Structure 1
Amino acid sequence: MTADGDDDQAYGRAVVYGGCVIGAAALVFAAVNFWAATRTNCAGARTHLCDTPAQAAVMIGPSLVLLGGGIGAFVHTYQRYRDGRSWRVWQGAGWFLFILMTAYLMISAGTMSTG
């Protein structure tokens, strides 16, 4: 079995991991938006997401970061389970990142299809 201290540390580490993944996705989002806004292809357009490459980059870039983070959390879940340590919080972190990725994809796809 696991000690209570292991559960507390697992929770804290999973929260920090999830926060770092979300922060990395936000940085990718900012970088891709900056790239899309400074392109010459869309200089005269109303929006900086005027063509397919810009839309795809804004939609897919942060999603890949969240996907990788979710997979990483699930790998960590399995490793902790195999070692007989507290693993449930890491599984929750993985599912949270997957749900966040799905929500981001749905919102960004809906926004770009109406624009």
Structure 2
Amino acid sequence: MTDDVGKRWHGPGGSGGVRRAALFTVSVIVSALVVMVGCIMWAAWGPHSGQCRDAAFAVCAEPERTILLVVPSALLLLGGLFAFVQTYRVWRKGGTWPIWQGAGWALLVSMVIYMSMSLSVLSQ
């Protein structure tokens, strides 16, 4: 018998680790998307909505632009960091840690993609 964690994707208690990591990853991504959509809706129908009629992008007022750039990125970053902390905790217990490492990398890559797309907000 081997201790190679890469050959098994379930721990002693079944596949709960995969479900927890997937649920955590999806919930962090969905919460970032909810903040993004909420900010766009706030910009479209909020107090600064009249300023953005001639703008190229729907979010042209300053508080909405900052929130649109910072908050979803911060949620994805914190989620990725928490997933890496969870990776270390599961590794210390002898569990299947690559699942959480994959969740952390998926969240950090999502953060980089979101930030690269949202940098167009700053250029306007």
* TM-score, with structure 1 as normaliser: 0.84
The alignment yields a C-alpha RMSD, in angstroms, of 2.1
Deviation track 1:89-109 (CA, whole Å, cap 9, x = no partner) reads: 100100110010011000110
Match of 1:37 among 36, 44, 58: 44
Q: Which residue of 1 aligns with 2:97?
A: 87
Distance 2:9 2:82 in 1: 24
Partner of 2:115: 105
Gaps of 5+ in 2: none
TM-score, normalising length: structure 2: 0.79
Which of the pair has more CA radius of gyration?
2
* Aligned partner of residue 86 in structure 1, secondary structure: coil
Do the aligned residues in 2 keep the contact of 1:49 with 1:55 (CA within 8 Å)?
yes
Percent sequence identity is 32
Gaps of 5+ in 1: none
Check whether the contact 1:32–1:61 (CA below 8 A) recurs between aligned residues: no
Q: What is the deviation of 1:4?
A: 5.8
Determine if contact 2:65/2:122 at 8 Å carries over to the other structure. no
Among residues 77, 82, 85, which one is paired with 1:72 in the alignment? 82
Q: 1:24 aligned to 2:31? A: yes
**Per-residue deviation at 1:44?**
3.7
1:27 & 1:105 partners in 2: Cα distance?
16
Deviation readout 1:26-58 (Å, 9 max, x if unpaired): 111122222222333341422441133221111
> SS of 2:96's equivalent?
coil
Q: Cα 1:5–1:114, aligned 2, differ >3 Å: closer, same or farther?
A: closer
> Which has the larger displacement, 87-96 or 47-56?
47-56
Q: Which has the higher helix share?
A: 1
